[in-house]
Structure 1
Amino acid sequence: MFKRTKRKNYRYIGLLYILPWLIGLMIFQLYPFFMSFYYSFTNFNMVAPPSFIGLDNYKEIFTNDPGFTQALKVTSLYVILAVPVKLAFALFIALILSAKLKGINLFRTVYYLPSILGGSVAIAVLWRFLFMRDGVVNNMLGNLGIPSIDWLGNPDVALYTLGLLSVWQFGSSMVLFLAGIQQIPGDLYEAGSIDGASKTRMFFKITVPMLTPIVLFNLIMQMVNAFQEFTGAFVITNGGPMKSTYLYALKLYEEAFTFFKMGYASALSWILFVIIMVVTGIIFKTSNRWVYYEDGGKS
Protein backbone atom coordinates (compact mmCIF):
# COMPACT_ATOMS: atom_id res chain seq x y z
CA MET A 1 0.00 0.00 0.00
CA PHE A 2 2.84 2.36 0.91
CA LYS A 3 4.63 1.63 -2.40
CA ARG A 4 1.51 2.39 -4.44
CA THR A 5 1.03 5.70 -2.66
CA LYS A 6 4.67 6.55 -3.26
CA ARG A 7 4.34 5.80 -6.98
CA LYS A 8 1.27 8.06 -7.21
CA ASN A 9 3.23 10.85 -5.52
CA TYR A 10 5.99 10.43 -8.10
CA ARG A 11 3.41 10.82 -10.86
CA TYR A 12 2.11 14.03 -9.32
CA ILE A 13 5.66 15.33 -8.98
CA GLY A 14 6.25 14.61 -12.67
CA LEU A 15 3.08 16.50 -13.60
CA LEU A 16 4.23 19.37 -11.40
CA TYR A 17 7.52 19.60 -13.30
CA ILE A 18 5.83 19.81 -16.69
CA LEU A 19 3.03 22.10 -15.45
CA PRO A 20 4.76 25.32 -16.66
CA TRP A 21 5.15 23.80 -20.13
CA LEU A 22 1.51 22.65 -20.17
CA ILE A 23 0.31 26.11 -19.14
CA GLY A 24 2.45 27.72 -21.85
CA LEU A 25 1.17 25.21 -24.43
CA MET A 26 -2.46 25.93 -23.62
CA ILE A 27 -2.17 29.72 -23.33
CA PHE A 28 0.28 30.54 -26.12
CA GLN A 29 -0.36 27.75 -28.64
CA LEU A 30 -3.61 25.79 -28.28
CA TYR A 31 -5.83 28.72 -27.29
CA PRO A 32 -4.63 31.02 -30.13
CA PHE A 33 -4.80 28.08 -32.55
CA PHE A 34 -8.48 27.36 -31.92
CA MET A 35 -9.47 31.01 -31.46
CA SER A 36 -7.96 31.93 -34.82
CA PHE A 37 -10.19 29.29 -36.40
CA TYR A 38 -13.23 30.92 -34.79
CA TYR A 39 -12.08 34.43 -35.76
CA SER A 40 -11.70 33.32 -39.38
CA PHE A 41 -15.51 33.21 -39.54
CA THR A 42 -15.93 36.66 -38.00
CA ASN A 43 -15.45 40.34 -38.71
CA PHE A 44 -12.97 41.26 -35.97
CA ASN A 45 -10.81 44.39 -35.69
CA MET A 46 -9.57 44.03 -32.07
CA VAL A 47 -11.70 47.02 -31.00
CA ALA A 48 -15.29 45.91 -31.40
CA PRO A 49 -16.41 42.41 -30.42
CA PRO A 50 -16.17 39.87 -33.26
CA SER A 51 -19.34 39.45 -35.31
CA PHE A 52 -20.00 36.12 -37.02
CA ILE A 53 -20.10 36.38 -40.84
CA GLY A 54 -19.76 32.73 -41.83
CA LEU A 55 -17.62 32.01 -44.90
CA ASP A 56 -17.51 35.61 -46.12
CA ASN A 57 -13.78 35.99 -45.37
CA TYR A 58 -12.93 32.89 -47.35
CA LYS A 59 -15.18 33.95 -50.23
CA GLU A 60 -13.48 37.35 -50.31
CA ILE A 61 -10.03 35.77 -50.34
CA PHE A 62 -10.72 33.37 -53.20
CA THR A 63 -12.89 35.61 -55.37
CA ASN A 64 -11.93 39.25 -54.80
CA ASP A 65 -8.39 39.54 -53.44
CA PRO A 66 -5.62 39.80 -56.06
CA GLY A 67 -3.10 40.26 -53.23
CA PHE A 68 -3.79 36.71 -52.08
CA THR A 69 -3.05 35.30 -55.53
CA GLN A 70 0.15 37.33 -55.82
CA ALA A 71 1.34 36.37 -52.34
CA LEU A 72 0.64 32.69 -52.93
CA LYS A 73 2.40 32.78 -56.29
CA VAL A 74 5.50 34.52 -54.91
CA THR A 75 5.65 32.28 -51.84
CA SER A 76 5.34 29.11 -53.92
CA LEU A 77 8.17 30.29 -56.17
CA TYR A 78 10.24 31.18 -53.11
CA VAL A 79 9.77 27.69 -51.63
CA ILE A 80 10.64 26.00 -54.93
CA LEU A 81 13.78 28.11 -55.33
CA ALA A 82 15.11 28.31 -51.79
CA VAL A 83 14.45 24.89 -50.24
CA PRO A 84 16.23 22.59 -52.77
CA VAL A 85 19.25 24.92 -53.02
CA LYS A 86 19.45 25.20 -49.25
CA LEU A 87 19.37 21.41 -48.78
CA ALA A 88 21.92 20.82 -51.56
CA PHE A 89 24.28 23.42 -50.08
CA ALA A 90 23.82 21.99 -46.56
CA LEU A 91 24.68 18.50 -47.83
CA PHE A 92 27.73 19.83 -49.69
CA ILE A 93 29.07 21.54 -46.56
CA ALA A 94 28.28 18.47 -44.44
CA LEU A 95 30.37 16.32 -46.79
CA ILE A 96 33.28 18.72 -46.42
CA LEU A 97 32.96 18.87 -42.63
CA SER A 98 32.74 15.07 -42.33
CA ALA A 99 36.46 14.86 -43.09
CA LYS A 100 38.63 13.83 -40.17
CA LEU A 101 40.89 16.85 -39.86
CA LYS A 102 42.50 18.64 -36.96
CA GLY A 103 40.29 21.39 -35.58
CA ILE A 104 37.30 20.29 -37.65
CA ASN A 105 34.93 20.85 -34.69
CA LEU A 106 35.75 24.55 -34.77
CA PHE A 107 34.79 24.76 -38.44
CA ARG A 108 31.55 22.90 -37.73
CA THR A 109 30.66 25.45 -35.07
CA VAL A 110 31.49 28.39 -37.34
CA TYR A 111 29.38 27.02 -40.18
CA TYR A 112 26.43 26.55 -37.83
CA LEU A 113 26.44 30.17 -36.63
CA PRO A 114 24.43 31.58 -39.58
CA SER A 115 21.44 29.48 -38.55
CA ILE A 116 21.52 31.04 -35.09
CA LEU A 117 21.86 34.61 -36.37
CA GLY A 118 20.16 34.38 -39.76
CA GLY A 119 16.54 34.79 -38.69
CA SER A 120 17.17 38.02 -36.77
CA VAL A 121 16.18 41.51 -37.86
CA ALA A 122 19.79 42.65 -37.52
CA ILE A 123 20.97 40.13 -40.12
CA ALA A 124 18.13 41.15 -42.45
CA VAL A 125 19.25 44.77 -42.17
CA LEU A 126 22.85 43.72 -42.81
CA TRP A 127 21.69 41.75 -45.88
CA ARG A 128 19.96 44.85 -47.20
CA PHE A 129 23.15 46.90 -46.87
CA LEU A 130 25.22 44.17 -48.51
CA PHE A 131 22.99 43.98 -51.58
CA MET A 132 21.94 47.61 -52.01
CA ARG A 133 22.98 49.32 -55.25
CA ASP A 134 26.19 50.74 -53.74
CA GLY A 135 26.63 47.93 -51.23
CA VAL A 136 29.53 45.60 -50.55
CA VAL A 137 28.52 42.98 -53.11
CA ASN A 138 28.30 45.45 -56.00
CA ASN A 139 31.59 47.05 -54.94
CA MET A 140 33.26 43.65 -55.11
CA LEU A 141 31.74 42.99 -58.53
CA GLY A 142 32.94 46.41 -59.69
CA ASN A 143 36.50 45.55 -58.62
CA LEU A 144 36.26 42.47 -60.84
CA GLY A 145 35.01 44.52 -63.79
CA ILE A 146 31.48 43.14 -63.54
CA PRO A 147 28.57 45.62 -63.88
CA SER A 148 26.61 46.20 -60.70
CA ILE A 149 23.27 44.48 -60.23
CA ASP A 150 20.18 46.06 -58.72
CA TRP A 151 19.67 43.15 -56.32
CA LEU A 152 16.76 44.65 -54.40
CA GLY A 153 15.25 47.02 -56.98
CA ASN A 154 14.90 44.65 -59.91
CA PRO A 155 11.68 42.56 -59.75
CA ASP A 156 13.42 39.74 -61.64
CA VAL A 157 16.25 39.50 -59.09
CA ALA A 158 14.86 40.58 -55.69
CA LEU A 159 13.27 37.24 -54.79
CA TYR A 160 16.51 35.41 -55.55
CA THR A 161 18.32 37.79 -53.19
CA LEU A 162 15.89 36.88 -50.41
CA GLY A 163 16.39 33.22 -51.29
CA LEU A 164 20.13 33.63 -50.78
CA LEU A 165 19.45 34.77 -47.22
CA SER A 166 17.48 31.58 -46.62
CA VAL A 167 20.21 29.41 -48.18
CA TRP A 168 22.78 31.11 -45.96
CA GLN A 169 20.90 29.75 -42.93
CA PHE A 170 21.79 26.15 -43.76
CA GLY A 171 23.28 25.20 -40.40
CA SER A 172 20.46 23.12 -38.90
CA SER A 173 20.10 20.98 -42.03
CA MET A 174 23.88 20.69 -42.28
CA VAL A 175 24.14 19.34 -38.72
CA LEU A 176 21.55 16.63 -39.44
CA PHE A 177 23.25 15.66 -42.69
CA LEU A 178 26.61 15.54 -40.91
CA ALA A 179 25.20 13.25 -38.21
CA GLY A 180 23.71 11.01 -40.89
CA ILE A 181 26.97 10.80 -42.84
CA GLN A 182 28.83 9.76 -39.71
CA GLN A 183 26.32 6.94 -39.14
CA ILE A 184 26.80 5.36 -42.58
CA PRO A 185 28.68 2.06 -42.13
CA GLY A 186 32.23 2.31 -43.44
CA ASP A 187 32.15 -1.21 -44.86
CA LEU A 188 29.75 0.00 -47.57
CA TYR A 189 32.41 2.36 -48.89
CA GLU A 190 35.06 -0.34 -48.54
CA ALA A 191 32.94 -2.70 -50.63
CA GLY A 192 32.44 0.04 -53.21
CA SER A 193 36.19 0.66 -53.40
CA ILE A 194 36.88 -3.03 -53.89
CA ASP A 195 34.36 -3.08 -56.74
CA GLY A 196 36.18 -0.16 -58.33
CA ALA A 197 33.45 2.42 -57.81
CA SER A 198 34.51 6.07 -58.04
CA LYS A 199 33.80 8.54 -55.24
CA THR A 200 31.09 10.15 -57.34
CA ARG A 201 29.37 6.83 -57.91
CA MET A 202 29.62 5.93 -54.22
CA PHE A 203 28.09 9.30 -53.34
CA PHE A 204 25.01 8.69 -55.49
CA LYS A 205 24.73 4.94 -54.79
CA ILE A 206 25.64 4.86 -51.08
CA THR A 207 25.67 8.27 -49.41
CA VAL A 208 22.51 9.74 -50.93
CA PRO A 209 20.29 6.64 -50.46
CA MET A 210 21.46 6.27 -46.86
CA LEU A 211 20.66 9.93 -46.19
CA THR A 212 17.17 9.94 -47.71
CA PRO A 213 15.38 9.68 -44.31
CA ILE A 214 17.23 12.83 -43.22
CA VAL A 215 16.49 14.44 -46.59
CA LEU A 216 12.81 13.77 -45.97
CA PHE A 217 12.91 15.37 -42.52
CA ASN A 218 14.92 18.38 -43.69
CA LEU A 219 12.71 18.83 -46.73
CA ILE A 220 9.54 19.01 -44.66
CA MET A 221 11.00 21.27 -41.98
CA GLN A 222 12.55 23.71 -44.44
CA MET A 223 9.43 23.71 -46.59
CA VAL A 224 7.29 24.65 -43.58
CA ASN A 225 9.74 27.40 -42.61
CA ALA A 226 9.88 28.75 -46.17
CA PHE A 227 6.10 29.03 -46.43
CA GLN A 228 6.14 31.11 -43.24
CA GLU A 229 9.12 33.32 -44.14
CA PHE A 230 8.52 36.90 -43.08
CA THR A 231 11.52 38.77 -41.63
CA GLY A 232 13.56 39.09 -44.82
CA ALA A 233 10.66 40.24 -47.00
CA PHE A 234 9.48 42.74 -44.37
CA VAL A 235 12.83 44.27 -43.43
CA ILE A 236 14.75 44.10 -46.71
CA THR A 237 12.19 44.81 -49.44
CA ASN A 238 8.81 45.23 -47.70
CA GLY A 239 7.30 43.15 -50.47
CA GLY A 240 8.72 45.22 -53.34
CA PRO A 241 9.65 46.01 -55.95
CA MET A 242 6.27 45.65 -57.70
CA LYS A 243 5.33 43.03 -55.10
CA SER A 244 7.93 40.62 -56.47
CA THR A 245 8.84 39.64 -52.87
CA TYR A 246 5.32 39.89 -51.47
CA LEU A 247 5.40 36.71 -49.42
CA TYR A 248 2.29 35.18 -47.87
CA ALA A 249 3.33 35.97 -44.30
CA LEU A 250 3.76 39.62 -45.27
CA LYS A 251 0.27 39.67 -46.75
CA LEU A 252 -1.09 38.14 -43.54
CA TYR A 253 0.78 40.69 -41.41
CA GLU A 254 -0.58 43.63 -43.42
CA GLU A 255 -4.17 42.45 -43.13
CA ALA A 256 -3.82 41.92 -39.38
CA PHE A 257 -1.70 44.86 -38.21
CA THR A 258 -2.04 47.47 -40.97
CA PHE A 259 -5.73 47.14 -41.82
CA PHE A 260 -6.68 45.51 -38.47
CA LYS A 261 -8.74 42.85 -40.24
CA MET A 262 -8.04 40.11 -37.70
CA GLY A 263 -10.82 37.84 -38.90
CA TYR A 264 -9.61 38.11 -42.48
CA ALA A 265 -6.00 37.48 -41.40
CA SER A 266 -7.11 34.44 -39.41
CA ALA A 267 -8.77 33.05 -42.54
CA LEU A 268 -5.53 33.63 -44.46
CA SER A 269 -3.56 31.82 -41.78
CA TRP A 270 -5.85 28.80 -41.91
CA ILE A 271 -5.57 28.65 -45.68
CA LEU A 272 -1.79 28.62 -45.29
CA PHE A 273 -2.10 25.90 -42.66
CA VAL A 274 -4.13 23.74 -45.06
CA ILE A 275 -1.66 24.36 -47.90
CA ILE A 276 1.27 23.28 -45.72
CA MET A 277 -0.60 20.19 -44.56
CA VAL A 278 -1.47 19.22 -48.16
CA VAL A 279 2.12 19.69 -49.39
CA THR A 280 3.43 17.75 -46.40
CA GLY A 281 0.96 14.96 -47.08
CA ILE A 282 2.05 14.78 -50.72
CA ILE A 283 5.71 14.56 -49.69
CA PHE A 284 4.95 11.77 -47.23
CA LYS A 285 2.80 9.96 -49.80
CA THR A 286 5.57 9.98 -52.40
CA SER A 287 8.38 9.26 -49.93
CA ASN A 288 7.92 5.49 -50.25
CA ARG A 289 9.38 5.80 -53.76
CA TRP A 290 12.64 7.46 -52.78
CA VAL A 291 13.28 7.10 -49.03
CA TYR A 292 15.41 4.08 -48.14
CA TYR A 293 16.63 2.69 -44.83
CA GLU A 294 19.71 0.76 -43.81
CA ASP A 295 17.84 -2.56 -43.70
CA GLY A 296 16.89 -2.15 -47.34
CA GLY A 297 13.26 -1.26 -46.68
CA LYS A 298 11.36 1.81 -47.74
CA SER A 299 9.27 4.25 -45.77
Structure 2
Amino acid sequence: MKRLLHKDGTWAFLLLLPNLLGFFIFIMFPVLGTFYISFTDWDMAGDMKWVGLANYKTLFQDDIFRKVLWNTLYYSVVSVPLGIMMSLLLAVFLNQKLKFMRFYRAAFFMPVISSFVAVAVIWQWIYNPDFGLLNYFLSWFGIDGPSWLTSSVWAMPAIILTSVWKNLGYNMLIFLAGLQGISESYYEAADIDGAKWYTKFWHITVPLLSPTTFFVTVTSIIGSFQVFDAVYLMTQGGPARATSVLVHYIYQTAFQYLDIGYASAMAYILFFLVLIVTLIQFARQKKWSMY
Protein backbone atom coordinates (compact mmCIF):
# COMPACT_ATOMS: atom_id res chain seq x y z
CA MET A 1 0.00 0.00 0.00
CA LYS A 2 2.80 2.41 0.92
CA ARG A 3 4.60 1.62 -2.34
CA LEU A 4 1.39 2.31 -4.28
CA LEU A 5 0.88 5.64 -2.50
CA HIS A 6 4.52 6.55 -3.10
CA LYS A 7 4.19 5.66 -6.78
CA ASP A 8 0.98 7.67 -7.15
CA GLY A 9 2.58 10.63 -5.36
CA THR A 10 5.56 10.51 -7.70
CA TRP A 11 3.35 10.48 -10.78
CA ALA A 12 1.23 13.29 -9.38
CA PHE A 13 4.33 15.41 -8.79
CA LEU A 14 5.66 14.69 -12.30
CA LEU A 15 2.33 15.64 -13.87
CA LEU A 16 2.17 18.85 -11.83
CA LEU A 17 5.81 19.73 -12.45
CA PRO A 18 5.31 21.62 -15.78
CA ASN A 19 2.57 23.74 -14.22
CA LEU A 20 4.64 24.38 -11.09
CA LEU A 21 7.66 25.38 -13.17
CA GLY A 22 5.53 27.75 -15.21
CA PHE A 23 4.07 29.25 -12.02
CA PHE A 24 7.48 29.91 -10.46
CA ILE A 25 9.15 31.11 -13.68
CA PHE A 26 6.37 33.31 -15.07
CA ILE A 27 4.58 34.42 -11.87
CA MET A 28 6.52 34.07 -8.64
CA PHE A 29 9.92 35.09 -10.04
CA PRO A 30 8.56 38.27 -11.74
CA VAL A 31 6.55 39.16 -8.61
CA LEU A 32 9.56 38.82 -6.30
CA GLY A 33 11.84 40.46 -8.86
CA THR A 34 9.49 43.45 -9.16
CA PHE A 35 9.48 43.84 -5.40
CA TYR A 36 13.28 44.05 -5.38
CA ILE A 37 13.36 46.43 -8.35
CA SER A 38 10.92 48.77 -6.55
CA PHE A 39 13.78 49.65 -4.17
CA THR A 40 16.16 50.53 -7.01
CA ASP A 41 16.75 53.16 -9.67
CA TRP A 42 16.96 51.31 -13.00
CA ASP A 43 16.35 52.19 -16.64
CA MET A 44 16.72 48.62 -18.04
CA ALA A 45 20.05 49.57 -19.66
CA GLY A 46 22.51 50.41 -16.88
CA ASP A 47 23.17 48.89 -13.50
CA MET A 48 20.57 48.91 -10.74
CA LYS A 49 21.16 51.50 -8.06
CA TRP A 50 19.75 50.70 -4.62
CA VAL A 51 17.66 53.65 -3.35
CA GLY A 52 15.71 51.99 -0.55
CA LEU A 53 12.29 53.56 0.12
CA ALA A 54 12.98 56.61 -2.07
CA ASN A 55 10.55 55.47 -4.79
CA TYR A 56 7.75 54.97 -2.28
CA LYS A 57 8.43 58.35 -0.66
CA THR A 58 8.33 60.04 -4.05
CA LEU A 59 4.93 58.52 -4.76
CA PHE A 60 3.27 60.53 -2.00
CA GLN A 61 4.80 63.73 -3.39
CA ASP A 62 3.84 62.97 -7.00
CA ASP A 63 0.85 65.05 -8.14
CA ILE A 64 0.37 62.85 -11.20
CA PHE A 65 0.23 59.72 -9.02
CA ARG A 66 -2.46 61.28 -6.84
CA LYS A 67 -4.37 62.28 -9.96
CA VAL A 68 -4.32 58.81 -11.52
CA LEU A 69 -5.13 57.22 -8.16
CA TRP A 70 -8.21 59.44 -7.90
CA ASN A 71 -9.16 58.56 -11.49
CA THR A 72 -8.83 54.85 -10.69
CA LEU A 73 -11.08 55.17 -7.64
CA TYR A 74 -13.56 57.25 -9.65
CA TYR A 75 -13.63 54.60 -12.38
CA SER A 76 -14.09 51.80 -9.84
CA VAL A 77 -16.79 53.50 -7.75
CA VAL A 78 -18.90 54.29 -10.82
CA SER A 79 -18.29 51.31 -13.10
CA VAL A 80 -18.63 48.49 -10.57
CA PRO A 81 -22.14 49.27 -9.20
CA LEU A 82 -23.36 50.29 -12.67
CA GLY A 83 -22.05 47.11 -14.26
CA ILE A 84 -23.47 44.87 -11.53
CA MET A 85 -26.94 46.44 -11.63
CA MET A 86 -27.17 46.37 -15.43
CA SER A 87 -25.90 42.79 -15.72
CA LEU A 88 -28.29 41.60 -13.00
CA LEU A 89 -31.32 43.20 -14.67
CA LEU A 90 -30.21 41.82 -18.03
CA ALA A 91 -29.79 38.34 -16.56
CA VAL A 92 -33.29 38.48 -15.03
CA PHE A 93 -34.70 39.44 -18.43
CA LEU A 94 -32.77 36.72 -20.26
CA ASN A 95 -33.88 34.12 -17.71
CA GLN A 96 -37.43 34.30 -19.04
CA LYS A 97 -38.93 31.72 -21.37
CA LEU A 98 -39.14 33.75 -24.57
CA LYS A 99 -38.53 33.09 -28.24
CA PHE A 100 -35.00 33.54 -29.61
CA MET A 101 -33.62 33.66 -26.06
CA ARG A 102 -30.45 31.78 -27.05
CA PHE A 103 -29.79 34.35 -29.74
CA TYR A 104 -30.22 37.23 -27.27
CA ARG A 105 -27.87 35.60 -24.77
CA ALA A 106 -25.23 35.04 -27.44
CA ALA A 107 -25.62 38.60 -28.73
CA PHE A 108 -25.13 40.17 -25.31
CA PHE A 109 -22.11 37.95 -24.64
CA MET A 110 -20.46 38.74 -27.99
CA PRO A 111 -18.68 41.94 -26.79
CA VAL A 112 -16.91 39.93 -24.08
CA ILE A 113 -15.07 37.80 -26.63
CA SER A 114 -14.53 40.68 -29.05
CA SER A 115 -11.15 42.39 -29.33
CA PHE A 116 -11.00 45.66 -27.42
CA VAL A 117 -9.28 47.19 -30.45
CA ALA A 118 -12.44 46.63 -32.49
CA VAL A 119 -14.62 47.79 -29.60
CA ALA A 120 -12.56 50.96 -29.20
CA VAL A 121 -12.84 51.79 -32.91
CA ILE A 122 -16.61 51.37 -32.84
CA TRP A 123 -17.10 53.46 -29.70
CA GLN A 124 -14.75 56.18 -30.91
CA TRP A 125 -17.02 56.49 -33.93
CA ILE A 126 -20.10 56.55 -31.67
CA TYR A 127 -18.54 59.29 -29.53
CA ASN A 128 -17.41 61.38 -32.50
CA PRO A 129 -18.68 64.95 -31.87
CA ASP A 130 -19.36 65.64 -35.57
CA PHE A 131 -21.01 62.50 -36.95
CA GLY A 132 -21.23 60.11 -33.99
CA LEU A 133 -24.45 58.26 -33.24
CA LEU A 134 -24.59 59.40 -29.61
CA ASN A 135 -24.61 63.12 -30.35
CA TYR A 136 -26.99 62.51 -33.25
CA PHE A 137 -29.38 60.78 -30.85
CA LEU A 138 -29.07 63.62 -28.31
CA SER A 139 -29.84 66.15 -31.03
CA TRP A 140 -33.33 64.66 -31.33
CA PHE A 141 -34.02 66.11 -27.88
CA GLY A 142 -32.39 69.44 -28.62
CA ILE A 143 -29.22 68.55 -26.68
CA ASP A 144 -25.86 69.66 -28.07
CA GLY A 145 -23.61 66.72 -27.24
CA PRO A 146 -20.04 67.35 -26.03
CA SER A 147 -16.75 66.20 -27.52
CA TRP A 148 -16.81 63.08 -25.41
CA LEU A 149 -13.24 61.79 -25.61
CA THR A 150 -11.56 65.20 -25.64
CA SER A 151 -13.51 66.67 -22.74
CA SER A 152 -11.92 66.58 -19.29
CA VAL A 153 -15.44 66.20 -17.82
CA TRP A 154 -16.98 63.63 -20.16
CA ALA A 155 -13.97 61.51 -21.18
CA MET A 156 -14.01 59.32 -18.06
CA PRO A 157 -17.79 58.68 -18.17
CA ALA A 158 -17.33 57.71 -21.83
CA ILE A 159 -14.57 55.24 -20.88
CA ILE A 160 -16.76 53.83 -18.09
CA LEU A 161 -19.75 53.36 -20.42
CA THR A 162 -17.62 51.54 -22.98
CA SER A 163 -16.03 49.26 -20.38
CA VAL A 164 -19.38 48.41 -18.76
CA TRP A 165 -20.85 47.57 -22.17
CA LYS A 166 -17.80 45.43 -23.04
CA ASN A 167 -17.95 43.37 -19.83
CA LEU A 168 -21.72 43.28 -19.37
CA GLY A 169 -22.13 39.85 -20.91
CA TYR A 170 -19.63 38.17 -18.57
CA ASN A 171 -21.36 39.24 -15.36
CA MET A 172 -24.71 38.56 -17.01
CA LEU A 173 -23.65 34.96 -17.60
CA ILE A 174 -22.60 34.55 -13.95
CA PHE A 175 -25.89 35.98 -12.71
CA LEU A 176 -27.80 33.83 -15.18
CA ALA A 177 -26.17 30.72 -13.74
CA GLY A 178 -27.10 31.87 -10.25
CA LEU A 179 -30.70 32.55 -11.28
CA GLN A 180 -31.09 29.10 -12.78
CA GLY A 181 -29.94 27.63 -9.46
CA ILE A 182 -32.91 29.18 -7.60
CA SER A 183 -35.78 26.75 -7.15
CA GLU A 184 -39.05 27.69 -8.83
CA SER A 185 -40.91 26.66 -5.66
CA TYR A 186 -40.03 30.01 -4.06
CA TYR A 187 -41.69 31.94 -6.86
CA GLU A 188 -44.67 29.58 -6.95
CA ALA A 189 -45.24 30.11 -3.23
CA ALA A 190 -44.99 33.88 -3.76
CA ASP A 191 -47.52 33.69 -6.60
CA ILE A 192 -49.96 31.90 -4.33
CA ASP A 193 -49.59 34.74 -1.82
CA GLY A 194 -50.27 37.26 -4.59
CA ALA A 195 -46.78 38.81 -4.59
CA LYS A 196 -45.94 41.31 -7.32
CA TRP A 197 -42.91 40.91 -9.61
CA TYR A 198 -40.91 43.57 -7.77
CA THR A 199 -41.67 41.92 -4.42
CA LYS A 200 -40.38 38.59 -5.72
CA PHE A 201 -37.29 40.30 -7.08
CA TRP A 202 -36.34 42.08 -3.83
CA HIS A 203 -37.35 39.35 -1.39
CA ILE A 204 -36.47 36.18 -3.33
CA THR A 205 -34.11 36.85 -6.23
CA VAL A 206 -31.76 39.36 -4.61
CA PRO A 207 -31.28 37.47 -1.30
CA LEU A 208 -30.76 34.08 -2.93
CA LEU A 209 -28.30 35.60 -5.41
CA SER A 210 -26.16 37.10 -2.66
CA PRO A 211 -23.29 34.54 -3.03
CA THR A 212 -23.23 35.18 -6.78
CA THR A 213 -23.37 38.94 -6.23
CA PHE A 214 -20.44 38.65 -3.81
CA PHE A 215 -18.33 36.84 -6.41
CA VAL A 216 -19.24 39.31 -9.16
CA THR A 217 -18.50 42.28 -6.88
CA VAL A 218 -15.05 41.02 -5.87
CA THR A 219 -14.00 40.18 -9.43
CA SER A 220 -15.42 43.45 -10.77
CA ILE A 221 -13.54 45.54 -8.20
CA ILE A 222 -10.27 43.74 -8.96
CA GLY A 223 -10.84 44.23 -12.68
CA SER A 224 -11.70 47.92 -12.26
CA PHE A 225 -8.37 48.61 -10.53
CA GLN A 226 -6.57 46.95 -13.44
CA VAL A 227 -8.28 48.83 -16.29
CA PHE A 228 -5.85 49.76 -19.04
CA ASP A 229 -6.89 48.83 -22.57
CA ALA A 230 -9.90 51.16 -22.74
CA VAL A 231 -7.80 54.12 -21.60
CA TYR A 232 -4.81 53.31 -23.80
CA LEU A 233 -6.82 52.72 -26.97
CA MET A 234 -9.43 55.46 -26.67
CA THR A 235 -7.82 58.48 -24.97
CA GLN A 236 -4.16 57.69 -24.18
CA GLY A 237 -4.94 59.00 -20.69
CA GLY A 238 -6.00 62.44 -21.89
CA PRO A 239 -7.11 65.09 -22.02
CA ALA A 240 -4.71 66.45 -19.36
CA ARG A 241 -4.67 63.01 -17.66
CA ALA A 242 -8.42 63.16 -17.08
CA THR A 243 -8.64 59.44 -17.89
CA SER A 244 -5.17 58.25 -16.91
CA VAL A 245 -5.39 55.45 -14.35
CA LEU A 246 -2.81 53.62 -12.25
CA VAL A 247 -2.01 50.85 -14.73
CA HIS A 248 -1.72 53.38 -17.56
CA TYR A 249 0.68 55.53 -15.52
CA ILE A 250 2.70 52.44 -14.57
CA TYR A 251 2.96 51.54 -18.26
CA GLN A 252 4.09 55.05 -19.19
CA THR A 253 6.62 55.23 -16.37
CA ALA A 254 8.12 51.83 -17.19
CA PHE A 255 8.14 51.72 -20.99
CA GLN A 256 8.09 55.38 -22.05
CA TYR A 257 10.05 57.09 -19.28
CA LEU A 258 12.15 53.95 -18.57
CA ASP A 259 11.93 54.46 -14.80
CA ILE A 260 11.48 50.79 -13.95
CA GLY A 261 12.09 51.15 -10.20
CA TYR A 262 9.46 53.86 -9.78
CA ALA A 263 6.98 51.90 -11.94
CA SER A 264 7.58 48.78 -9.82
CA ALA A 265 6.85 50.76 -6.65
CA MET A 266 3.55 51.93 -8.14
CA ALA A 267 2.74 48.36 -9.16
CA TYR A 268 3.14 47.23 -5.57
CA ILE A 269 0.98 50.09 -4.31
CA LEU A 270 -1.68 48.88 -6.75
CA PHE A 271 -1.19 45.32 -5.51
CA PHE A 272 -1.71 46.32 -1.89
CA LEU A 273 -4.78 48.41 -2.77
CA VAL A 274 -6.38 45.44 -4.52
CA LEU A 275 -5.35 43.13 -1.66
CA ILE A 276 -6.84 45.40 1.01
CA VAL A 277 -10.13 45.84 -0.85
CA THR A 278 -10.37 42.08 -1.47
CA LEU A 279 -9.65 41.24 2.19
CA ILE A 280 -12.30 43.72 3.31
CA GLN A 281 -14.82 42.07 0.98
CA PHE A 282 -14.00 38.60 2.30
CA ALA A 283 -14.16 39.86 5.90
CA ARG A 284 -17.70 41.04 5.18
CA GLN A 285 -18.60 37.87 3.30
CA LYS A 286 -21.04 36.64 5.97
CA LYS A 287 -23.12 39.80 5.57
CA TRP A 288 -23.56 38.97 1.89
CA SER A 289 -25.31 35.70 2.73
CA MET A 290 -28.90 36.65 3.48
CA TYR A 291 -30.09 33.07 3.88
**23-32 or 253-262, larger mean C-alpha shift:** 23-32
Q: Give the corresponding residue for 2:106.
A: 109
* Structure 2: runs of 5 or more not aligned: none
Change (3 A) 1:53 1:140: same
Shift, 1:133, TM fit: 1.5
Shift, 1:78, TM fit: 0.5
d(CA) in 2 for partners of 1:142 and 1:201? 38
Question: Which TM-score applies when normalising by structure 2?
Answer: 0.93
**130-139 or 49-58, larger mean C-alpha shift:** 130-139
Tell me which of 146, 152, 158 is aligned to 1:149: 146
Aligned residues: 289
Tell me which of 29, 32, 35 is aligned to 2:30: 32
Q: Give the corresponding residue for 1:129.
A: 125
d(CA) in 2 for partners of 1:162 and 1:19? 42
Q: Give the corresponding residue for 2:59.
A: 61
Letter in 2 for 1:74: N
* Structure 1: runs of 5 or more not aligned: none
| 1:236 lines up with 2:234 in the alignment | yes
Which residues of 2 match residues 80-229 of structure 1 at below 5 A? 80-117=77-114, 120-134=116-130, 135-142=132-139, 145-168=142-165, 169-229=167-227
What CA deviation, in whole Å up to 9, does each residue of 1:231-290 have, x standing for no partner? 111111111112211111111111101111111101000001111111112222233233
Same amino acid, percent of matched pairs: 35
Letter in 1 for 2:240: M
What CA deviation, in whole Å up to 9, does each residue of 1:50-83 have, x standing for no partner? 2211100000111x21011000001101000101
What CA deviation, in whole Å up to 9, does each residue of 1:154-180 have, x standing for no partner? 211110000011111211111110011
d(CA) in 2 for partners of 1:106 and 1:19? 42
Tell me which of 235, 243, 246 is aligned to 1:245: 243
Letter in 2 for 1:273: F
Change (3 A) 1:21 1:241: same
Shift, 1:5, TM fit: 4.5
SS at match of 1:259: coil
d(CA) in 1 for partners of 2:42 and 2:162? 35
Q: Give the corresponding residue for 1:264.
A: 262
Letter in 2 for 1:245: T
CA contact (8 A) 2:211 2:288 kept: no
Shift, 1:8, TM fit: 4.0
Question: Which TM-score applies when normalising by structure 1?
Answer: 0.91
Shift, 1:7, TM fit: 5.0
